[in-house]
Amino acid sequence: MPVAEPDIIGKLQKREPSGFLLASLRGVGQVDLQPLIWTGLLILAALWSAGWEIGLFATLGTLVSTATAYALGVDRSSIAVGLQGYSGCLTGIALVISLGHHPATYILAVVGAIMCTLLTATLTTLLSPYGLTALTAPFCLVSGVMVLGAPSFSRIWNGAPKPVSSPTTGDTGISWDDLWHAFFTNVSQVFLVDEWYVGLIMLAGLACAGARVVLFAAAGSVTGIVTAWALGAPTELIRNGIYGYNAVLVVIALGAVFLSGTVANGAYALFGAAVSTGLTASLTSLFKPFGGHTFTWPFILTTWVLMAAVPLLPRLRRSV
Amino acid sequence: MPVAEPDIIGKLQKREPSGFLLASLRGVGQVDLQPLIWTGLLILAALWSAGWEIGLFATLGTLVSTATAYALGVDRSSIAVGLQGYSGCLTGIALVISLGHHPATYILAVVGAIMCTLLTATLTTLLSPYGLTALTAPFCLVSGVMVLGAPSFSRIWNGAPKPVSSPTTGDTGISWDDLWHAFFTNVSQVFLVDEWYVGLIMLAGLACAGARVVLFAAAGSVTGIVTAWALGAPTELIRNGIYGYNAVLVVIALGAVFLSGTVANGAYALFGAAVSTGLTASLTSLFKPFGGHTFTWPFILTTWVLMAAVPLLPRLRRSV
Amino acid sequence: MPVAEPDIIGKLQKREPSGFLLASLRGVGQVDLQPLIWTGLLILAALWSAGWEIGLFATLGTLVSTATAYALGVDRSSIAVGLQGYSGCLTGIALVISLGHHPATYILAVVGAIMCTLLTATLTTLLSPYGLTALTAPFCLVSGVMVLGAPSFSRIWNGAPKPVSSPTTGDTGISWDDLWHAFFTNVSQVFLVDEWYVGLIMLAGLACAGARVVLFAAAGSVTGIVTAWALGAPTELIRNGIYGYNAVLVVIALGAVFLSGTVANGAYALFGAAVSTGLTASLTSLFKPFGGHTFTWPFILTTWVLMAAVPLLPRLRRSV
């Protein structure tokens, strides 16, 4: 992961508000594992374009997570590259989508963002002996626990929002229109949004981070579509990005961040994208009795498994 | 955790029965993380007052777990402070409550207590690299596995006992009578008992362990009540202690045992109590398809997560 | 675990096909934790005798897993003793049984066998700090995930195969005929086969590995039967080996491989066999909402728990 530009750490140490805001912007970009400020800015713009509630809760979650890390004295360089904000960003979005836009949801988003920062520390402690990072697991744990418990509490539960369509079977014929929609929604679905233009703006943000990043992201999206179609997934789910957003993340993580740029590593990243596409169906079935919140678990589990295998596979090499 | 008074280790090494009995008494107190003999004695009295089956199975479980550790050569100082007995204590209670008072339940309680000692060793091995302890996880694992498997076996299953009332929705108005009942049942529910006077005797036992312990326990109980009420939990569950016993344990663990006595640490402990209260609903929903045995998992998970985060949060400090 | 005969490593390094085939044969034997070539050969013959689809998919899975390890540069001595093939062997069998004999199943078996090799590396990384090995967990994870996700994909799902009979209640009277069937099917059920003669051939293969191995395997089978009967399991399940195959594996692992040959260790192994028998019912209940694929999880969990406890229990000793 790129080193933070020194001035953000400096601004944080001098307690300048601009340092805090720049670190938070990077936090938005770190959802896609990219610390560039321009990437964060474009992704944030894409989120606000998807709806003001989504933009607001993404902003709120990122700011609260980053501020919590600052208040608890977390290592400034980790804050400066945005690693303390991305889980709060996703948690804010997940809560407003799952629980609806109510006053109680604001309180839960703040508590959830605080918990994300704590869980980031917890997972860093637990995973660092293995050379693994927390990825988006704090988001998945906090959001999963909150959405699972919410219906038990009358003051935070206002009934389930409009049900997400998730047929397990359905038409598998695919058109050109389905394909290009899927290509972009695979990118936006990382943030639980299924609008193609949101994905397009996000891809522009990833392009700022370099050709390698955006090409791998695109390759991941294509791999997710091809795998899901080859397995026979319902077209509606492919078109909405349900089967491809994990593939996008896996390929960015393995192809552009954690492994060095060899052909074998690239093939390994694309293989991981295909695996995460299949795993999406398994985890969705696993979580169905509990309300079905797959979030980015397929990306997390695939990346952890494939990265932990690398030290024993001499053909592959970590980038660090 | 306080060091064992040297004479108990000595008595154990000389194979004096009194050493074994004193270590077992401490085991009862260690359910609340307190090794004081008087604490264990008062808690044991409270358990017998709750019903002779509960008292008997708690005693049986503690003795068998401690004896197993002794027979397998476990480190004597660990036995002497009661760390080999508490999981067996809770397992005995959980089995007689879940499976009823039948001859087969005695055999299962003995096997379960033996397994508790083995799992305590297992978890100590697995968790010690992270500076975490087993807490009551051996109890939760052994009791959960046994209660889950029991209906498959005709010689140990005599039908489910009277169903535990656990509505997920219900009246949320709260009276003074509900509040003081909840305050005490939060303490007794740690041992799966919902009688207020049992909690009162146990609080007296905790008072023997020092003002810090009993004050934190009381603060945990209050935090559990306030959080559950604020979220909108059904009054009946609050009154029966269902939403507060994990908060009591979390606050004792974080506030009085594992963290040093600073204001920030105290606030962290109370935050943990609130988190464990919400987590109780999530885990109860999670376990519902499998029969619903939440036990002390919310306490365990909250304490592990918050303790594993501490090394990366310079504002907080471990007590050791 | 016995050291590989040096010539297999040599053949692998010289890229002689015979080295690859001998390593794969050992892989079949390693399902029962035995690297002897004759053991692998007899077990493979037993699998083909159970049906050509089972024999073919077992062979395919073993070869692909071993070849993947070779291609990715995995340590040659690990390949030579068969440790890279056994999970693929079981995965091939599980997939053809669960998904039926269709063209897509061949592709899934190849992908599953590749994933087994990767997961073997992952688990080796994660478990080695604790002195534990992966056992058959790669098989359980890969097969579990694939079978869980398969119904979501129309091109690989051809409807559930004939349902496995698994009543949770039923007649518990047991005859001599039930007993000897159970004794042998406990051995064959390790490979998901419930034919007594298949178990008989496999026992012959284990006998090649030495008296200690085959005697412990037999003792494990008997312990499984006695425990299941004493608990009151339905006779039909006992007769089909459902309650005993994990006991066989646990006793081989603890009694004949991982612990030294003392009386205390032998008793511990038999205790583990009884525990795994009870655990089989718990895990079957746990997995029922998800389709019910217990595979060898009871063996894996029992062995991990009991082995991780050993360092703190001075009465017991590891063999290495």
Give the pLDDT confidence of A276-314 residue by residue, as tens digits. 999 999 999 998 888 768 999 999 999 999 999 999 999
Instruction: Tell me the β-bridge partners of C318.
Output: C259
My answer on whether A279 and A195 are in the same domain is yes
* Interface test with chain B among C238, C283, C303, C305, by most B beta carbons within 10 Å: C305
Contact A149 B282 (CB under 8 A): yes
* Interface test with chain C among B70, B83, B105, B118, by most C beta carbons within 10 Å: B118
Average pLDDT in the A210-227 region?
A: 97
Domain boundary residue among C163, C186, C219?
C163
Q: How many Cβ contacts (< 8 angstroms) between chains A and B? A: 85
Residue from the list A72, A149, A151 with its beta carbon closest to the beta carbon of B315: A72
My answer on whether A87 and A193 are in the same domain is no
Q: b/e for C80-92, b at 16 or more Cβ within 10 A? A: bbbbbbbbbbbbb
Q: Chain C partners of A232 at a C-beta cutoff of 8 Å?
A: 153-157
Is 60 exceeded by the pLDDT of residue C168? no
Predicted pLDDT of residue A169: 62
My answer on whether B80 and B131 are in the same domain is yes
Percent of residues, chain A, with pLDDT higher than 90: 85
My answer on whether C185 and C150 are in the same domain is no
Average pLDDT in the A84-107 region?
A: 96
CA angle A29, A35, A37 (to 5 degrees): 75
Contact C275 B115 (CB under 8 A): yes
Average pLDDT in the C142-167 region?
A: 81
My answer on whether B159 and B180 are in the same domain is no
My answer on whether B84 and B176 are in the same domain is no
Other Cβ atoms within 10 Å of A320 Cβ, number: 9
Predicted pLDDT of residue A288: 86
| Shortest distance, CA B163 to any CA of chain C (angstroms) | 19
Interface check C262 vs B, CB under 8 A: no
Task: Identify the sign of the CA torsion B115, B116, B119, B120.
Answer: negative
In this predicted model, what pLDDT tens digit does every residue of A117-165 receive, in sequence order? 999 999 999 999 999 999 999 999 999 999 999 999 998 888 776 555 5
Task: Identify the sign of the CA torsion B49, B54, B56, B61.
Answer: negative
pTM of the predicted model as reported, rounded to 2 decimal places: 0.95
| Shortest distance, CA B111 to any CA of chain C (angstroms) | 9
Question: How buried is B232 (Cβ within 10 angstroms: 0-12 exposed, 13-18 middle, 19+ buried)?
Answer: middle
Average pLDDT in the A198-227 region?
A: 97
Percent of residues, chain C, with pLDDT higher than 70: 95
Q: Chain B partners of C313 at a C-beta cutoff of 8 Å?
A: 72-74, 118, 121
CA angle A167, A169, A172 (to 5 degrees): 115
| Shortest distance, CA A79 to any CA of chain B (angstroms) | 12
Domain boundary residue among A143, A163, A183?
A163
- The answer to whether A258 and A304 have CB atoms below 8 angstroms apart is no
Instruction: Tell me the β-bridge partners of A259.
Output: A318
Q: Chain C partners of B107 at a C-beta cutoff of 8 Å?
A: none
My answer on whether A139 and A190 are in the same domain is no
C20 φ/ψ angles, rounded to the nearest 5 degrees: -65, -40
Q: Which H/E stretch holds residue B112?
A: helix B103-127
- Look up the ipTM and state it: 0.93
Which pLDDT band, with edges at 50, 70 and 90, does A171 fall under?
A: confident
Tokens standing for C238? 């006992």
3-state secondary structure of B249: helix
Interface check B149 vs A, CB under 8 A: no
Q: Chain C partners of A308 at a C-beta cutoff of 8 Å?
A: 121-122, 125-126
My answer on whether A211 and A143 are in the same domain is no
* Interface test with chain A among C122, C124, C143, C285, by most A beta carbons within 10 Å: C122
Task: Indicate the number of domains in chain C.
Answer: 2
* SS percent in chain C: helix, strand, coil, step 5: 70, 0, 25
Residue showing tokens 């699972």: A148
Lowest mean pLDDT among B95-109, B111-125, C157-171, C197-211: C157-171
Instruction: Tell me the β-bridge partners of C259.
Output: C318
Contact B148 C316 (CB under 8 A): no
Predicted pLDDT of residue B173: 84
Cα(B116)–Cα(B124) distance, integer angstroms: 12
Chains that touch B (3 or more CB pairs under 8 A): A, C
* Distance from the Cα of residue C42 to its chain's centroid: 15
Cα(C83)–Cα(C116) distance, integer angstroms: 11
Predicted pLDDT of residue B1: 44
In this predicted model, what pLDDT tens digit does every residue of A75-92 receive, in sequence order? 999 999 999 999 999 999
My answer on whether C229 and C158 are in the same domain is no
Which pLDDT band, with edges at 50, 70 and 90, does A7 fall under?
A: confident
Gap between the terminal Cα atoms of chain C:
9
Q: What is the 3-state secondary structure (H, E, C) of B16-31?
A: CHHHHHHHHHHHHHHC
C161 φ/ψ angles, rounded to the nearest 5 degrees: -70, 180
Which pLDDT band, with edges at 50, 70 and 90, does A166 fall under?
A: low
Average pLDDT in the C76-100 region?
A: 96
Average pLDDT in the C70-86 region?
A: 95
Lowest mean pLDDT among A22-26, A292-296, B278-282, C303-307: A292-296
Predicted pLDDT of residue B159: 79
- The answer to whether A27 and A84 have CB atoms below 8 angstroms apart is yes
Instruction: Tell me the β-bridge partners of C277.
Output: none
Residue C317 zone, left/alpha/beta (φ > 0; ψ -120 to 50; rest) = beta
Average pLDDT in the A184-189 region?
A: 97
Task: Identify the sign of the CA torsion C261, C264, C268, C274.
Answer: positive
Residue from the list A115, A150, A290 with its beta carbon closest to the beta carbon of B286: A290
Q: How many CA atoms lie within 13 A of C67 on its CB side?
A: 15
My answer on whether A15 and A97 are in the same domain is yes
Average pLDDT in the A244-271 region?
A: 96
Domain boundary residue among B140, B163, B186?
B163
Average pLDDT in the C142-164 region?
A: 85
Predicted pLDDT of residue C284: 92
CATH code where residue A62 lies: 1.10.3430.10
Instruction: Tell me the β-bridge partners of B318.
Output: B259
Cα(B162)–Cα(B165) distance, integer angstroms: 9
Cα(B5)–Cα(B2) distance, integer angstroms: 9
My answer on whether A145 and A278 are in the same domain is no
**What are the Cα distances from residue C7, in Å, to B312, C26, C81?**
50, 14, 11
Predicted pLDDT of residue A173: 84
My answer on whether C158 and C174 are in the same domain is no
Is 70 exceeded by the pLDDT of residue C237? yes
- Alpha helix (H) residue ranges in A31-175: 37-49, 52-71, 76-80, 86-99, 103-127, 137-149
Q: b/e for A84-113, b at 16 or more Cβ within 10 A? A: bbbbbbbbbbbbbbbbbbeebbbebbbbbb
Q: Which H/E stretch holds residue C35?
A: none
Residue from the list B74, B150, B290 with its beta carbon closest to the beta carbon of C313: B74
- The answer to whether A34 and A43 have CB atoms below 8 angstroms apart is no
Domain with A269 in it: 166-320
Q: How many Cβ contacts (< 8 angstroms) between chains B and C? A: 86
Taking all residues of chain C, what is their mean pLDDT, rounded to a whole number? Answer: 93
Percent of residues, chain A, with pLDDT higher than 70: 95
- pLDDT in 10s for each residue of chain B, 320 residues: 444 565 888 888 888 888 999 999 999 999 999 999 999 999 999 999 999 999 999 999 999 999 999 999 999 999 999 999 999 999 999 999 999 999 999 999 999 999 999 999 999 999 999 999 999 999 999 999 999 999 999 988 887 765 555 555 678 788 999 999 999 999 999 999 999 999 999 999 999 999 999 999 999 999 999 999 999 999 999 999 999 999 999 999 999 999 999 999 999 999 999 999 999 999 999 988 887 689 999 999 999 999 999 999 999 999 96
